[in-house]
Structure 1
Amino acid sequence: MDIANKEVLESSKVKPFGMQDKVGYMLGDFGNSLLFNFIGSYLLVFYTDAFGISAAAVGTLMAVSRVWDAINDPMMGVIVDKRKRTKDGKFRPYLKYMGIPLGIFTILTFLVIPNMPENMKLPYAYITYIGFGMAYTSINIPYGSLASVLTNDPVERTSLSTFRNLAVAFSQIILMVLTPKLVFDASGAVSVKGFVIVSVLYAIIANIAYRCCYSMTTERVIVEVKEDAPKVSLGETLKTLCKNRALIGLILSSLGTLTAMFIPNALNAYLFKDYFGTPGLLSIAGLVGMIGTFIVLPFTTKLVAKFGKKNVATYSSIICIISYTILVFFPSKNPWIYIGLNLISGIGVAFYNMLIWALVGDVMDYQEYLSGQREDGTVYAAYSLSRKLVQAIVGSIGGFALAAIGYQSGAATQAPEVAENIRTIITVVPLIGFVFGAVCLKFVYNLSNKTLNEVNEELERRRAQ
């Protein structure tokens, strides 16, 4: 398949890439992160303590819903790739129309219907949670693919990745500071009304962010496919994806590293409530974890220029590994020690997050190098699925582990051994995850600076034909 990249219109008719695009693109992921991380951080505690579902049932729900994602995500990626460009662009229309369904499913997921029969709670949870996942996919995959058509310039694309990670940091600050104040009452118990308020509020904010992203960004680059180009089946596309070693390495690395990052988000509420006995510090702990993003921001570009994206992302995990090794082997009942070590670990996490989307862009180029096709939506769908798998793994680990250690849903206090086991889970699992993620990125992901230069030179040669 012959592919050529070109500017959509003459420069005199198209607004040059600039700050408006960066801010607009940032707002798109602000909406995504606000909803996705709210689900990831608070759905488990909502189901167990507010909705009345057992931790084991929640673990099964998380696992089963990912089976459908394994079908839905690649299918959505192919739909996005094959959909013809409209007057609003190829990817931007999804931001315009799919935010409302996503907001509705967010609210329904955290809604406790009065007098609902017990035997209807679990089916309701399945329908709303899977519905949320499908709606999220329909907006997240086009959003992730949008960066490839905002600009061709690699430096400008890197700036989009930076702004995207700032969006995640800002959304996390809101989640960590505001959410606990609304979903927990003065005694530390969960508030059903609070979950409804937060879900409605975040759904509205996310939809405003999506509309701003749609309005502020401009698709400048199109991918033209010749009419006589041979059609490629989904099976052939998936076969090529399986040969993309860089994609496999990045997915495996993300499974480890993101699990290590998300486990504290999912279980911190239990840790501070049942182990430390200080649920009021949950907001501070979350806020401190975000500081790392702003610490590494001035240094990321310089380090990447000297050592390369792959090496910086890989070796930043050492900071996290050291922090969690201390937490595992030198436990303390002092919550401030935990918060301090998480601040240090957050610096390593921030480096990884700053670079992950730039690595995804490199994987997209490598896929074109392997297949001769530009399949941004499909590649992004494959990586997006891996992130959803992480969310499912975290939910399953959290749910099954809580059940295994004897956590009593809805109980005002937990047994001391249960609280101690929560601390073990929230420290040991991240340590293993960071080690696994670093090893996979180092030895499986194969796009060094030298390889990337060779890939880009070959792509430029093909496109010039």
Structure 2
Amino acid sequence: MDAKKFDLGINNAGGENVKPFGNSDRYGYMLGDLGNSLLFNLIGSYLLVFYTDVLGIGAAAVGTLMVVARIWDAINDPMMGVLVDKSKPNKNGKFRPYLLCAGIPVGLMAILCFTAIPGMSESFKLPYAYITYIGFGMAYTAINIPYGSLASVMTSDPVERTSLSTFRSVGAILANLILMTVAPMLVFAADGSASAQGFLKAAVIFAVISNICYFFAFKMTTERIQHNVNDESKEKISLGKSVSMLFKNRALIGIMVASFGLLIAMFLPQSLNPYLYKDYFGNANLVGTASLITMIPSFLVIPFGGKLVAKYGKKEVTAAGFVIATIGYGLLFFLPITNPYIFIAINCLAGIGTGLINLLVWALVGDAIDYQEYITGKREEGIVYAAYSLVRKLSQAVVGGISGFALGIIGYQSGVTQQTAEVANGVKNVITAVPFFGVIIGLLAMIFIYNLTKSRLEEVNDELNSRRSN
């Protein structure tokens, strides 16, 4: 097999000893997702407001733009995955160089997305939005797919991969905290109106911070497993064949379905929480407080992720997380809760489950990459990660559609100070039912589709290590 693992004391292709896996890798990988999430979440949380309130683009036109962008993602992401797989490693590795060469373009495109060019004609605003938003998506894909694939070559140890997944989740949590606390102060004027200068300032600041994170992620991480997939004597990788082979990877299909259910369960409340607290609980001021409190479980489970995986296995702990989340969301759905603080408390219970899952999801993706090599004999980190990344983007698009259609179906009236009791109850039902059924889908996928139990994963890793030593 044309692969070789480099452990402590074994020389790499350049004749240099490879340092052992350690905290430098963990913190470096965390910084990578901190950089990614700052820009991605800024775009996801505030670009719609910028388009409608600053550029003056209609909401329907923006919705069409989002759909077109997701269609292009379905084409662009697999293409980028194959391009990454075909790239040849240099002295810095195969994936780490993308952290430097793609970091500046993704930052620049984010800035352009939030730039209101003085004197821009009305007829050019929508085309400008298409160019910059799709351009940002392509630049983000160019850094996110290599970054996500990087973990699979930093280590093959299950516990070490779990720690990478944990630290990546911490990076995302830190990005969300920064976004929730800093962004509103920048993008809104004193009177609460959207500020064009504020949006631009936020984009510039976040782009600079992100590139600093990318630089240190590059410097602090190490690729320890090299795969010579570009040997000219080997069979060429084609996009069509690579995509078709993904359907044989039960581990990948399982984590894709499970993540789809999980992300719907997590993103839909974020989208509808303002309506829930404003119209159902009658206290719009609780939205920010509820968001911060429900993040606490994500921090509380961090010390336990690695220990639980070492004892029980990643699939087993992830399935347990789905069980906890199902109980929490089930209570929210079935109980006639009218007290917002009880609602928040039960949400925290569900958050323990989703927090466990989020700690492990990236390690599961790394195992799916290994399993792809196990069943096909080819190392294709990029195309596997691209497939998983596409599902995450599609889940966000689905949430946007569900949120809009649901509000219309239950009779929500824009601009009305007080909604009817039927509408308020409808919001509560939607915001609890969708997450409940979403985590059920995730639980079923982990039990019946995802096939890498602790013992099975050990067999796969032993076989891969045997191939790589020959």
Q: Normalising by structure 1, report the TM-score.
A: 0.89
State the match for 1:308 in structure 2.
313
Q: Distance in 1 between matches of 2:404 and 2:117?
A: 23
Does the aligned pair in 1 maintain the 2:251–2:451 contact within 8 Å? Answer: yes
State the match for 1:205 in structure 2.
209
Q: What SS is found at the alignment partner of 2:295?
A: helix
- 2:4 pairs with 1:4: yes
Distance 1:204 1:426, change over 3 A: farther
More off after superposition, 433-442 vs 195-204: 195-204
Matches within 5 A, 1:103-142: 103-113=107-117, 119-142=123-146
Does the aligned pair in 2 maintain the 1:50–1:190 contact within 8 Å? Answer: yes
Distance 1:200 1:101, change over 3 A: same
State the match for 1:96 in structure 2.
100
State the match for 2:371 in structure 1.
366
- 2:27 pairs with 1:61: no
Q: What SS is found at the alignment partner of 1:167?
A: helix
**Shift in Å, 1:107:** 2.6
- 2:451 pairs with 1:446: yes
Q: What SS is found at the alignment partner of 2:237?
A: coil
State the match for 2:432 in structure 1.
427
- 2:291 pairs with 1:283: no
State the match for 2:442 in structure 1.
437
- 2:177 pairs with 1:173: yes
**Unmatched tracts of structure 1, length 5 or more:** none
Q: Distance in 2 between matches of 1:344 and 1:187?
A: 37
Distance 1:430 1:116, change over 3 A: farther
Does the aligned pair in 2 maintain the 1:254–1:387 contact within 8 Å? Answer: yes
State the match for 1:242 in structure 2.
247
State the match for 2:164 in structure 1.
160
Q: Distance in 2 between matches of 1:178 and 1:395?
A: 24
Matches within 5 A, 1:66-85: 66-85=70-89
Match of 1:319 among 320, 324, 327: 324
Distance 1:331 1:266, change over 3 A: same
More off after superposition, 203-212 vs 7-16: 7-16
Q: Distance in 1 between matches of 2:197 and 2:424?
A: 27
Q: Distance in 2 between matches of 1:117 and 1:403?
A: 32
Q: What SS is found at the alignment partner of 1:299?
A: helix
Instruction: Give the share of equivalent positions with the same residue, in percent.
Output: 58
Q: Distance in 2 between matches of 1:425 and 1:181?
A: 31
More off after superposition, 174-183 vs 95-104: 174-183
CA RMSD in angstroms, aligned pairs only: 2.9
After superposition, the C-alpha distances for 1:274-322 in whole angstroms (9 at most, x for unaligned) are: 5555454333222222211221122222322333211221221232223
Structure ranking higher on relative contact order (CA contacts 8 Å, 6+ apart): 1
Q: Distance in 1 between matches of 2:192 and 2:394?
A: 30
How many aligned positions are there? 464
After superposition, the C-alpha distances for 1:50-106 in whole angstroms (9 at most, x for unaligned) are: 554554444433322111111111111111111111233211221112122212222
Q: What SS is found at the alignment partner of 2:92?
A: coil
Q: Distance in 2 between matches of 1:414 and 1:104?
A: 42
More off after superposition, 109-118 vs 65-74: 109-118
Distance 1:372 1:315, change over 3 A: same
**Aligned amino acid, residue 375 of structure 1:** E
**Unmatched tracts of structure 2, length 5 or more:** none
Does the aligned pair in 2 maintain the 1:91–1:146 contact within 8 Å? Answer: yes
Distance 1:168 1:10, change over 3 A: same
Does the aligned pair in 2 maintain the 1:259–1:430 contact within 8 Å? Answer: yes
Does the aligned pair in 1 maintain the 2:159–2:310 contact within 8 Å? Answer: no
- 2:29 pairs with 1:18: no
Does the aligned pair in 2 maintain the 1:58–1:395 contact within 8 Å? Answer: no
After superposition, the C-alpha distances for 1:22-42 in whole angstroms (9 at most, x for unaligned) are: 211110011112222233334
Q: Distance in 1 between matches of 2:195 and 2:327?
A: 37
- 2:258 pairs with 1:253: yes
Distance 1:344 1:27, change over 3 A: same
Match of 1:223 among 222, 227, 231: 227
Q: What SS is found at the alignment partner of 1:316?
A: helix
Q: Normalising by structure 2, report the TM-score.
A: 0.88
